[in-house]
Amino acid sequence: MIGKMKELNMGYKRNFVKFLLTSEALEFGDFTLKSGRKSPYMINTGRFDSGDSLSKLGCFYAKAIYEKMELGVIPKDISVIFGSAYKGIPLAAAASMAMSAAFDLDIGYCFNRKEAKDHGEGGLLVGRAPKPGGHVLVIDDVMTAGTALRETAAILAAQAPEAIIAGSVIAVDRMERGTGQLSAVAQTQYEMGFPVFSIVDMEETIAELKEIRGETETISLPTQEQIAAIERHLLTYSG
């Protein structure tokens, strides 16, 4: 884990875009999003399906989280990283492990069940339960309209009403409008009152894709036409 983090420290945003490409988590084609919009690309974190790729992904999340702690965007005393079922579960665990290994910060992780358990330990939450007054960081892959984050906030409000959501970290900010004229991230931040940040946003991703195309590396790169299609999509739907 430490070795992986050292590899990421230099230009971690570019390395993350390369990681998305080599893992085939950044897919190009014709996709219909949950919002109903057509998109020439998709971020599929389900591609991180091995111990090595999940470990690297955790390191990227940890790097972004620690950077925001150092900048004062989120508090340094985050006690729990919360991932909602199902995709958020491995993300929360991987980020928690990486924060311990790389930055010596022992942050718990927690996730919800889809249905409350009525036997054994019972309840809806699994892992380190958020404590009253404790700061919680919500983790997810991509934000399209902010619906998933609102649902997660509602779960936490019901199950741990005195815990404080200090922020949310996502892998990629698509930078698209939500239900209004603001981007989904900006609108969610305004409505919910806490920061939402990403490892990379799509403007950064596009810039890195163009730079990577100029490098001589064995990576399956998108064509110039595919990059141009992403730029047009962002121009159409940006908030």
Strand pairing report for 123-127 and 38-43: unpaired
49 CB-side CA count, 13 A:
5
Which of 38, 117, 135, 233 is catalytic? The answer is 117
Q: Is residue 119 annotated as part of the catalytic site, yes or no?
A: yes
d(CA 194, CA 196): 7
Class of domain 2-237: alpha beta
Q: Given this model, what pLDDT does residue 2 score?
A: 47
pLDDT beneath 70, residues of the chain = 1-10, 116-122, 214-218
Q: Where are the domains of the chain?
A: 2-237
CB contact at 8 A, 168 and 140: yes
Q: Given this model, what pLDDT does residue 116 score?
A: 62
CB contact at 8 A, 140 and 170: yes
Which of 119, 131, 135, 233 is catalytic? The answer is 119
d(CA 28, CA 212): 16
d(CA 67, CA 182): 25
Q: Given this model, what pLDDT does residue 180 score?
A: 80
